[in-house]
Amino acid sequence: MLQRPLPRAALLLGLAAFLTPLAAKAQEREVVSKQVSVSRSEATLDLEFSDDTALEISLRDGLVMIDGDNVGSYQPGGELDAAWRELLGRAVSLEDGPLSEALADWRAPADLAGSLAEVAQRIDQTLETSLHDMEVQVDASDGAVSISIGNQSSLLGALLGSAERIGLLPDALADLGPDVRLHLDEDVDIGEDEVVSGSLVVIDGDVVVEGEVRGSVVVIGGSIDMPEGSQIDGAVRLADARVVRNDGTVRGGVVQVESRPSAPVRPTPPARPDVQRLRDEIREEVRQEARNAARQRDDRGSGLMTPFRAVGRAAGGLVENAFTILILGLIGAAAVVFAGEKVDVIAETARRSPGRAAMVGLAGTFLLLPAWVLGFVALVVSIIGIPVALAWLPLFPLAAALAGIVGYLAVARNTGEWLADSHYPWTGWIRKSNPLITMIGGLVGLMALFVLANVLTVVPFVGFVRGLVLAAGSVLTFVVIQIGFGSVLLTRAGRRREYWSTYDADEAWAAAMNADAGPGDEEARAPETGGEESADA
Amino acid sequence: MRKTMMVALLGAVSAPPLHAQSMRTVTMSRQIEDRNEVQVDVEYGVGRFSVRPVGEGLLYRMNLSYDEDRFEPVAEYSSHRLDVGVRSLRRTHLGGSRQSGELQLELGRGVPMDLDLEFGAVHAEIDLGGLTLTDLDLSTGASESVIEISEPNPEVIESASFEVGAADFTLHDLGNLNAQRIEVDAGVGSLKLWLDGDWRRDSRLTIDMGLGALELHVPEGLGIQLRKDSFFTALDSEGLVKRGDNYESLDWNDAEHQVTIDLDAAFGSVKVIWIR
């Protein structure tokens, strides 16, 4: 395959016929990336070559696209569509060399007619030209032909796509003789002292002749510049080309080669290589922008993993809730063991007067920062107070946090007692006889909204509800902390009873004896009803 | 399975487009450019997912079947970075689920790879044996995954991580990974770790498990030391002896290779099973 002639490289063989016997050798270009994409409405082949060029041929929704350009139409499910899909089916399992060979060997169905045949031929030619690295070697037994190819792929693609130019070739290349220099897709400069012994053919390139050409100069798809002192012994033949300057000597005259009437007309001539390159660049930029936008969209969390990350987040959140309860329970256990009576006093205050405790707690919260700063300033002003001030800085916030936590735990104990009395089926495990269990039960109750919010994480379309639950949980926690903190302040960390609730048999007896007494005896009844008793009174 | 997929692809591309389906099949491949390290990111959401090595010459080959109304394929290669998989076209993809897709990915042997696998609700069969891995990060959501390292990794991985959401997750031949540190972060589910394979160095295995059952399959001769920091977690430590706060295999001090396991589990069970 590497050394086979190009049966379908119509242009070069055509040129060869006009010029001289030559042998064109070709090898497959290296395909570094392949993509075959097939759906009911589309069959697309994307190739990327080692020289960073790419080829995309797509039959999509009735349109045939080559590198993004519409080159014709086809009947979905028709013969061309089936043949193309059959080719892609083989391409799926092939790589590199065998892939190139299979694609280059593809033949359009023979029985296609009209515009469909032209489109199929266009696909065929595009595959052929794109998949071959052209290496033209000359076997000129009776003359010399040198062929130089610049950008082979873009040139041949453009040239083969231009039937109009092919139609110009017979006239443009007629009677050039055996000694021909052919330049494809590159600019040519014949220097002042340079002499071209034969003819010069430049296709898709600009030529500057400052020296001498002893044959003719043929320019197809470019321009010619002949400054003063240049000499061309033959003619200058222009096909789809122009003269920049004609100050030299042209013995055969300048001839414009017109297309023959019988030349076939392609529906959509391809763009010039430079325009095509520009299109490719713009297309690539647009693609890159789209990719960037897609990446940014994914970064915002719309990736495929979103629902499944939610499961992990929910599980993590629930575990976090469990650990929070565990840690607070441990602190509560320590508080019950080491300061159980004080916790009782704080809890009793929170239970009896939650509103008052909350207000005190709120005020205390607002006063924390000023108290901290003023306390520090007050300590610093005296020399003896400076060491204390150094301890004040970390210990005051620590004490405040501890007060909040202990207060929260005290409220949790009250909540646990309430849940134990509530006879809900899921609160049976809470035993009031065990203050620690009661406290943990209360913590579970207080954190129930957070648990619910974590559970709702995995439920789709309830984000708003989850937000509400989370907000309610936060508000509840804030209120509970304020009540607890206020209770700690009111009871001076549980050292001063705000309320009397301990049963006293003597007082109960006295109260019972004075049950019918007048209003002046209200004070005696207070212990029985658990009424408020000021510690300062 | 690859043959099945290939047949399906061939059938899809050969059949005239007369079906009322929106499934698209894509096959992509790329030749190896050079032997420099490649960052490979794979993302796949729903369906069947497989990864296996492919012979010399190819950097990757991907056979993909997906719903083109919901997803788009990703295959981008630039500056030794390869992104493959599918990407959602919508912000949400719950409801309206139709035929699930399939991704078969083959990765080239002999190319050093920093591999990042991320997949969601999939049935995954992954064989990383034969690949040259310099780094490995695997993240999965609610999946049934079997990961195997059937051949030793010629490169040393400093740290390999497996992040598992709610999954039935099995990891075979962990020793072949040739990793200095292995981190497994599991949310909820069943976790089976087979510590067989060819251990070439001492290693540290960190397991962080929320709720679930963990099975540690340990080959005889491999020294393991289990450091357990758990809450409500039952431990079946058959074949381990407790020394201080740790559980150790009987031959811990004499073992050719030692694996230290740091276990942080909240709720569940841990079972050590010896491979005899």
Q: Which amino acid is at A109?
A: P
Which one of B27, B94, B208 makes the best mutation probe of the A interface by having the most chain A beta carbons within 10 Å?
A: B27
| A481 against A3, higher pLDDT | A481
Closest C-alpha among A124, A100, A111, A104 to residue A50: A100
Which of chain A's residues have a Cβ under 8 Å away from the Cβ of B137? none
Q: What is the CATH number of the domain that holds B182?
A: 2.160.20
Across the interface, do B16 and A81 touch by the CB < 8 Å criterion?
A: yes
pLDDT digits (tens, 9 = 90+) for B131-168: 999 999 999 887 889 999 999 999 999 999 999 887 78
- Shortest Cα distance, chain B CAs vs residue A92, angstroms: 6
Token pair recorded at residue B23 = 């499934």
Closest C-alpha among A404, A392, A386 to residue A346: A404
Report yes or no: A324 at the B interface, CB cutoff 8 Å.
no
What is the rounded distance in angstroms from the CA atom of residue A39 to the CA atom of residue A31? 23
Which of chain A's residues have a Cβ under 8 Å away from the Cβ of B18? 40, 77
Closest C-alpha among A169, A151, A160 to residue A273: A151
- Shortest Cα distance, chain B CAs vs residue A49, angstroms: 10
Token pair recorded at residue A405 = 């936590």
**Helix or strand or coil: residue A530?**
coil
Q: How confident is the model at residue A349 (pLDDT cuts 50, 70, 90)?
A: confident
What is the rounded distance in angstroms from the CA atom of residue A437 to the CA atom of residue A441? 6
Which of chain A's residues have a Cβ under 8 Å away from the Cβ of B44? 304
Report yes or no: A81 at the B interface, CB cutoff 8 Å.
yes
Of the partner residues A34, A40, A298, the one whose CB lies closest to the CB of residue B17: A40
Token pair recorded at residue A328 = 């607070």
Across the interface, do B88 and A303 touch by the CB < 8 Å criterion?
A: yes
Q: Which amino acid is at A412?
A: A
* Residue A419 reports pLDDT greater than 80: yes
DSSP A153-186: HHHHHHHHT-HHHHHHHHHHHTT--S-EEEEESS
Which of chain A's residues have a Cβ under 8 Å away from the Cβ of B139? 305
Across the interface, do B24 and A307 touch by the CB < 8 Å criterion?
A: no
Q: What is the domain partition of chain A in residue ranges? A: 1-24+134-270, 30-130, 307-499
Which of chain B's residues have a Cβ under 8 Å away from the Cβ of A94? none
Q: Of all residues in chain A, what percent carry a pLDDT higher than 90? A: 7
Say how many Å lie between the first and final Cα of chain B, rounded: 31
Q: How confident is the model at residue A508 (pLDDT cuts 50, 70, 90)?
A: low
Closest C-alpha among B156, B127, B119, B145 to residue B53: B127
Token pair recorded at residue A284 = 């690539």
Say how many Å lie between the first and final Cα of chain A, rounded: 112
What integer is the mean pLDDT of B31-49? 89
Which chain B residue shows the shortest CA-CA distance from A41? B17
What is the rounded distance in angstroms from the CA atom of residue A328 to the CA atom of residue A401? 13
Average pLDDT, chain A: 75
Count of domains in chain B?
A: 1
Roughly what angle, to the nearest 10 degrees, separates helices A306-352 and A448-456?
A: 170
DSSP A276-289: HHHHHHHHHHHHHH
Which of chain A's residues have a Cβ under 8 Å away from the Cβ of B120? 304-305, 307-308
CA dihedral A162, A163, A167, A169 (to 10 degrees): 40
Across the interface, do B27 and A35 touch by the CB < 8 Å criterion?
A: yes
Q: What is the DSSP letter of A30?
A: P
Give the pLDDT confidence score for residue A298 in this predicted structure: 47
pLDDT digits (tens, 9 = 90+) for A193-220: 888 888 888 887 889 999 999 889 988 8
Give the pLDDT confidence score for residue B182 in this predicted structure: 95
Q: How confident is the model at residue B17 (pLDDT cuts 50, 70, 90)?
A: very low
DSSP A467-517: HHHHHHHHHHHHHHHHHHHHHHHHTTTTTS-SB--S--HHHHHHHHHTTT-
- Shortest Cα distance, chain B CAs vs residue A303, angstroms: 6
Give the pLDDT confidence score for residue A518 in this predicted structure: 43
What integer is the mean pLDDT of A22-35? 66
Which domain covers residue B191, as residue numbers?
2-275
CA dihedral B245, B248, B253, B254 (to 10 degrees): 180
Q: How confident is the model at residue A457 (pLDDT cuts 50, 70, 90)?
A: confident
Side by side, the strands of the sheet bearing A188-190 are A188-190, A206-209, A223-226, A242-246
Contact A114, A72 (CB under 8 A): no
Across the interface, do A323 and B266 touch by the CB < 8 Å criterion?
A: yes
Of the partner residues B13, B95, B142, the one whose CB lies closest to the CB of residue A36: B13
Across the interface, do A36 and B267 touch by the CB < 8 Å criterion?
A: no
Report yes or no: A463 at the B interface, CB cutoff 8 Å.
no
- Shortest Cα distance, chain B CAs vs residue A524, angstroms: 52
Across the interface, do A39 and B22 touch by the CB < 8 Å criterion?
A: yes
- Which residues of A, range 301-320, sit inside 8 Å of B by Cβ? 302-309, 311-312, 315-316, 318-319
3-class secondary structure per residue, A9-25:
CHHHHHHHHHHCCCEEE
Token pair recorded at residue A386 = 């400076």
Roughly what angle, to the nearest 10 degrees, separates helices A354-380 and A385-422?
A: 170
Say which residue the tokens 């016929």 belong to. A17
Contact A205, A222 (CB under 8 A): yes
Residue positions counted in chain B: 276
How many C-beta neighbours within 10 Å does residue A218 have? 31
Across the interface, do A305 and B118 touch by the CB < 8 Å criterion?
A: yes
What is the rounded distance in angstroms from the CA atom of residue A408 to the CA atom of residue A89? 70
Token pair recorded at residue A37 = 């994409």
What is the rounded distance in angstroms from the CA atom of residue A273 to the CA atom of residue A282? 14
Lowest mean pLDDT among A46-60, A394-408, A500-514, B199-213: A500-514
Give the pLDDT confidence score for residue B198 in this predicted structure: 93
What integer is the mean pLDDT of B224-241? 83
Residues near A284 by Cβ (< 8 Å), separated by ≥ 6? Answer: none
What is the rounded distance in angstroms from the CA atom of residue B79 to the CA atom of residue A323? 45
- Which residues of A, range 469-488, sit inside 8 Å of B by Cβ? none
- Which residues of A, range 32-61, sit inside 8 Å of B by Cβ? 32-43, 48
pLDDT digits (tens, 9 = 90+) for B181-211: 999 998 878 899 999 999 999 999 999 887 7
Q: What share of chain A is helix, strand, coil (3-state, %, to 5)?
A: 55, 20, 30
- Shortest Cα distance, chain A CAs vs residue B73, angstroms: 10
Across the interface, do A37 and B26 touch by the CB < 8 Å criterion?
A: yes
Lowest mean pLDDT among A174-183, A505-514, B142-151: A505-514
- Shortest Cα distance, chain A CAs vs residue B4, angstroms: 13
ipTM: 0.76
Give the pLDDT confidence score for residue A291 in this predicted structure: 61
Token pair recorded at residue A403 = 């007060």
Query: What does each C-alpha distance from A240 to A164, A268, B121 come to in angstroms?
Result: 9, 17, 61
Helices within A381-462 (DSSP H only): 385-422, 435-446, 448-456
Across the interface, do B165 and A308 touch by the CB < 8 Å criterion?
A: yes
Across the interface, do B121 and A307 touch by the CB < 8 Å criterion?
A: yes
